[in-house]
């Protein structure tokens, strides 16, 4: 389902972007504007989070391992650098990578005092909280979902124990974007039933006609009308006899 355009372009991007900012603000009551906001990962979730943080006035830095996504982030107007460099200057950090130990003790140790660290990507494995706890001189809870760790040279704050901050400290994605993800699941289940005995035993992508149907239904629900191709345009697009 995640490969469907009506899933990752909206749920991942707009849903994660909004709900992550919501979780961070609810947990900390901190101002986003004017601060350096480090986003680890520039997939669809990272793009959405960077867009929302930037829209609230943050100076956004992207950390990436994929050169194509890193280049895309640069072209989108963000600074790109390794986490080892971003760790020294960031005010907010949020991981959205789907991988483990993205922010490690070596990063915590060079963070400025008061840095806020959150995860909105994958379970509770993206931030190496275990190593942080082992190295901390003191650990204390200062607010709901906010834990202060005192290290030798700094203090950092981890939100929601490194778990998904948008689900722990907030309420997750709005229903107005989750409806498309659930529609993909429902119509995919119907597709399997309707094609019983025809499908092979393998993982299938969401059929394009289901994806398109969901988008059309969503637009209708929003009261939005859109154009359709004329027969002349359809014939032109099928033709190979015209061109530059």
Report domain extents, the chain. 5-168, 175-226
- Given this model, what pLDDT does residue 28 score? 99
State the pLDDT at residue 122.
84
136 alpha-carbon distance from chain centroid: 29
Q: What percent of the chain has pLDDT over 90?
A: 97
What's the mean pLDDT in 63-76?
99
Looking at CATH, the fold of the domain delimited by 5-168 is given as: Rossmann fold (3.40.50)
Give the separation between CA 52 and CA 13, rounded to whole angstroms: 10
Q: What is the pLDDT of residue 197?
A: 93
pTM of full prediction above 0.85 = yes
Tens-digit pLDDT profile for residues 95-135? 999 999 999 999 999 999 999 999 999 899 999 999 999 99
| Percent with pLDDT over 70 in the chain | 99
CA atoms of 82 and 182, how far apart (whole Å):
36
- The confidence score (pLDDT) of residue 237 equals 92
Mean pLDDT of the chain: 97
Residue 242 has pLDDT above 90, yes or no: no
| 227 Cβ contact partners less than 8 Å away, ≥ 6 residues apart | none
Q: What is the pLDDT of residue 244?
A: 59
């Amino acid at each position: 389902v995640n490969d469907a355009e009506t899933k990752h372009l909206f749920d991942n991007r707009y849903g994660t972007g909004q709900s992550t900012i919501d979780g961070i603000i609810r947990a900390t009551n901190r101002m986003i504007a004017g601060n350096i906001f480090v986003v680890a990962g520039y997939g669809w979730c990272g793009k959405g989070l960077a867009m929302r943080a930037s829209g609230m006035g943050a100076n956004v830095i992207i950390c990436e391992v994929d050169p194509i996504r890193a280049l895309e982030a640069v072209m989108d107007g963000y600074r790109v650098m390794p986490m080892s460099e971003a760790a020294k200057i960031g005010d907010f950090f949020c991981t959205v990578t789907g991988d483990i130990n993205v922010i490690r003790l070596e990063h915590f140790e060079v963070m400025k005092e008061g840095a806020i660290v959150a995860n909105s990507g994958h379970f509770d494995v993206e931030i190496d909280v275990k190593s942080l706890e082992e190295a901390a001189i003191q650990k204390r809870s200062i607010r709901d979902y906010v834990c202060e760790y005192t290290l030798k040279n700094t203090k950092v704050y981890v939100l929601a124990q490194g778990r998904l901050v948008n689900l722990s400290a907030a309420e997750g994605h709005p229903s107005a974007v989750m409806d498309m993800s659930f529609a993909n699941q429902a119509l995919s289940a119907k597709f399997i039933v309707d094609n019983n005995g025809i499908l092979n035993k393998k993982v299938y992508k969401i059929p394009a006609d289901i994806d398109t149907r969901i988008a059309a239904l969503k637009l209708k629900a929003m009261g939005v009308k859109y154009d359709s191709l004329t027969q002349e345009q359809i014939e032109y697009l099928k033709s190979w006899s015209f061109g530059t």
